[in-house]
Amino acid sequence: MEQAASISLPVIYLHPFAWGGKTLVRLSLEQNRELYHFLYQQQDILRYSKTFKSLVTHYKKEPLEKLKERIIGRARLNTTALMRHALQAKAEPIKKGMPPAASLPLVQLVPAMLEGKTILLIRFRYHSPLIELLKKQSFTHYYAKGKCWYVQKEDVQLAALIRLLQPMARLRLDARLYPLDFASQKQLIVGHDSDWGSIDPEPFLNVLYGKGYSPNTIGTYYSLVGRFIKSNGICSQEELQTLGAAEVNLYHSRWMAQGNTAAGSVNQSVNAIKFYMQHVLDKLLEGVELVRVKGERQLPKVMSLQEVTKVLSSCDNLKHRCMLSLLYSGGLRAGELIGLKLTDIDWERKQIRIRKAKGKKDRMTLLSAVFCQQLQAYLAQYRPSVWVFEGQWGDQYTSSSLRSVFKQALQKARIAKPYTLHCLRHSFATHLLEGGTDLRYIQSLLGHNSSKTTEIYTHVSQQAIQNIQSPLDRLELTGNYHMLPSGIPQQTYDKK
Cα 176 from chain centroid (whole Å): 22
Class of residue 179 by CB neighbours under 10 A (exposed 0-12, middle 13-18, buried 19+)? exposed
> Three-state SS for 447?
coil
Say how many CA atoms lie within 13 Å of 96 toward its Cβ. Answer: 4
236 with 80: CB under 8 angstroms? yes
Q: How far is CA 192 from CA 156, 161, 176, 197, in A?
A: 21, 14, 25, 11
Q: What is the rounded distance in angstroms from the CA atom of residue 285 to the CA atom of residue 243?
A: 9
How confident is the model at residue 9, as a pLDDT?
A: 83
How confident is the model at residue 321, as a pLDDT?
A: 94
How confident is the model at residue 95, as a pLDDT?
A: 41
How many Cβ atoms from other residues are within 10 Å of residue 308's Cβ? 20
How confident is the model at residue 490, as a pLDDT?
A: 45
How confident is the model at residue 310, as a pLDDT?
A: 94
Q: What is the rounded distance in angstroms from the CA atom of residue 218 to the CA atom of residue 268?
A: 12
Q: Which residues have a catalytic role annotated? A: 333, 358, 422, 425, 448, 457
Say how many CA atoms lie within 13 Å of 28 toward its Cβ. Answer: 25
218 with 205: CB under 8 angstroms? yes
User: pLDDT in tens for each of the 496 residues of the chain?
Assistant: 444 455 578 888 888 877 767 888 888 887 788 898 899 899 999 998 887 778 999 888 889 989 999 998 899 888 777 766 665 554 444 344 444 555 688 888 888 888 888 889 898 888 899 999 999 998 999 988 878 899 988 778 888 898 889 888 888 887 777 777 777 877 777 775 667 877 888 899 989 988 888 888 888 899 899 999 888 888 788 888 888 888 888 888 888 777 777 777 888 898 899 999 999 988 887 654 555 666 566 788 999 999 999 999 999 999 999 999 999 999 999 989 999 999 999 999 999 999 877 767 889 999 998 889 999 999 999 999 889 998 876 778 888 889 999 999 999 999 999 999 999 999 999 998 888 888 888 888 888 877 777 777 776 666 655 665 555 555 555 554 444 444 444 444 444 3
Residues 6+ apart with CB under 8 A from 458: 433, 439, 464
How confident is the model at residue 3, as a pLDDT?
A: 47
Tell me which residue of 125, 120, 102 sits closest to 174, measured CA to CA.
120
Question: DSSP string covering 261-297, please?
Answer: --HHHHHHHHHHHHHHHHHTS-----SSPPP--PPP-
Question: DSSP string covering 352-418, please?
Answer: EEE-S-TTS--EEEE--HHHHHHHHHHHHHH--SSBSSB-TTSSBPPHHHHHHHHHHHHHHTT--S-
How many Cβ atoms from other residues are within 10 Å of residue 480's Cβ? 5
